Structure 1
Amino acid sequence: MDITGKTILLTGGTAGIGAAMARQLAEKGASVIVTGRSAEGLARAREQGFEAIAADLSGPGGAQAILEALGDRPIDILINNAGQGVDHDFRASPPDIGAADDCIYANFNSPVRLIAALLPRLKQRPEAAIVNVTSGLAIAPNTGSAVYCATKAALRSYTLALRAQLSGCNVHVVEALPPVVATQMTAGRGGIKMPASDCAAQIIRAIERNDHEANVGMVKVLRTVHSLSPKLAGKIMLRF
């Protein structure tokens, strides 16, 4: 897919992987509309020349705010990138169920709502794409992020089914599976982290190539291990 001239809606586009994608997509000639919930992040995006829509996707009002701001404008590519983490480890403390609900809504319900609302206009374009950003943890969960892993696995499953439904259609469906990336969400966590700009570049390359999946960075290794032995991949990830 040639990104030049495409109108792209990018959720979570004011920070982290999303902000890096927004910049790189704009450099390729796309018109990028970003969403975010931080006033500071929204202001920074607008200063950089992006249209920025304020939307908290942890509840139903977020998707609705985006749709109202868009009006009936055509969209060529929808990138469901916004993500929300939550601590959910009974070994540490009783989990916050309200925070878990917010995570589930942001990571799964809101992407589904946006896809359902925008698919008719995507189908009207000469070529279009839906890009769902999941995680390597959608393949095999770790131990401490049970709810986050479950939401990403749910979005992965939804993406696989959606791709089958839209087979032969003008709307190409891409799943992007990042590893641990250096973002605000992972601040304070140890280990090797991929730069957000490198992660963004690999996702965009997958869109341009019409790939079904963007297995980013170390997720390529996880996918290989999982293909050989799902049980082994699971054991490795559950150590973390």
Structure 2
Amino acid sequence: MTAEGRTIVLAGGTSAAGRAIARALVDAGARVIATGRSESGLAAVRDAGAEAVVADATSVEDMTRLAGALGAVDGVFPLVGGWRGGGGLEGQSDEDFAALLPALEAVRATSRAFDALLQASDAGRFAIVSSTAVARPLAGGANYAAVKAASEAWARAVAHGFAKSARDAETPLRAASVVFRAKALEPEVLATAATGLWDSPADDLNDHVINLG
């Protein structure tokens, strides 16, 4: 198995990481669909070879509509992110927490909208990007670490759902949910790891944390 011929969604894929993943997957022969909230934000990822769709990655309705339009999907990467923090616990404002929540909302929305399609694929892959802050949260990054920890918990629940469905149907596990964890995210390193998800069987990936340096 490889990424060649796969249909892969980069939800909120307008960041440097999204552009790097898009380029790597397109180079590997995949069809890449990247979403963003505006046409202008999608220009760079379109230049990387991806198909661009204006849609909100945090919206279950938008993601469900996209899933219905595509019909078949082999991979989903919710890439909504960002960092806000500092100032110890006193500095963990409600405004900063609210600004970070879309990352978790995108994980929830995409996993729910594409669950059936990923399980129908012979190699469905769902992967999120997390942080080493989850393992060692600091006071000044408590909001950020909490959102990342919640995202990881959701991704693990997705993994459990994949495994349970396979057991109940008495079929081999074909879908995998993975957490990429990095201290300082390097887009090209992430892109290589993302493309490599189709090089390994689901049993070796599902419910695993992959450390990126």
Structure-1-length-normalised TM-score: 0.72
Does residue 202 of the first structure (1) align with residue 193 of the second (2)? yes
Q: Distance in 1 between matches of 2:92 and 2:159?
A: 38
* AA partner of residue 100 (structure 1): F
Aligned pairs (5 A) from 1:159-178 = 159-167=155-163, 168=166, 169-178=173-182
RMSD, aligned CA: 2.4
Aligned to 1:83: 81
Q: Cα–Cα, structure 1 residues 93 and 149, in superposed 2: closer, same or farther, change >3 Å?
A: closer
Q: Which runs of 5+ in 1 are unaligned?
A: 182-194, 218-240
Q: Contact between 2:12 and 2:36, CA under 8 Å: does it hold in 1?
A: yes
- After superposition, residues 117-132 of structure 1 pair within 5 angstroms as 117-132=113-128
Q: Secondary structure at the match of 1:122?
A: helix
Q: Which residue of 2 aligns with 1:180?
A: 184
Mark the CA change 1:127 to 1:19 in structure 2 (over 3 Å): closer, same or farther.
Answer: same
Amino acid at match of 1:71: G
Per the TM alignment, residue 42 of structure 1 is displaced from its structure 2 partner at its CA by 0.6
Moved more, 75-84 or 157-166: 157-166
Aligned residues: 199
Secondary structure of 1:154's aligned partner: helix
How far apart are residue 20 of structure 1 and its match? 0.6
Higher relative contact order, chain-length normalized (CA < 8 Å, sep 6+)? 2
Q: What pairs up with 1:17-28 in 2 under 5 angstroms?
A: 17-28=17-28
Distance 1:154 1:17 in 2: 21
Query: Structure 2: which 5+ runs fail to align?
Result: 167-172
The residue identity in structure 2 corresponding to 1:75 is V
Counterparts of 1:68-79 in structure 2 under 5 Å? 68-73=65-70, 74-79=72-77
Give the counterpart of 2:133 among 134, 137, 141.
Answer: 137
Q: 1:137 to 1:82 in 2, by over 3 A?
A: same
Deviations 1:23-67 (A, max 9, x none): 10110011011122465431222234321223444xx5x443333
Query: Aligned residues: percent identity?
Result: 26
Map Cα deviations across residues 95-114 of structure 1 (whole Å, 9 max, x no partner): 2x24422312x121221122
What TM-score, normalized to structure 2?
0.80
Select the structure of larger CA radius of gyration. 1
User: Is 1:103 matched with 2:100?
Assistant: yes
| Partner-residue secondary structure (3-state), 1:173 | strand
Determine the structure 2 residue equivalent to 1:221: none
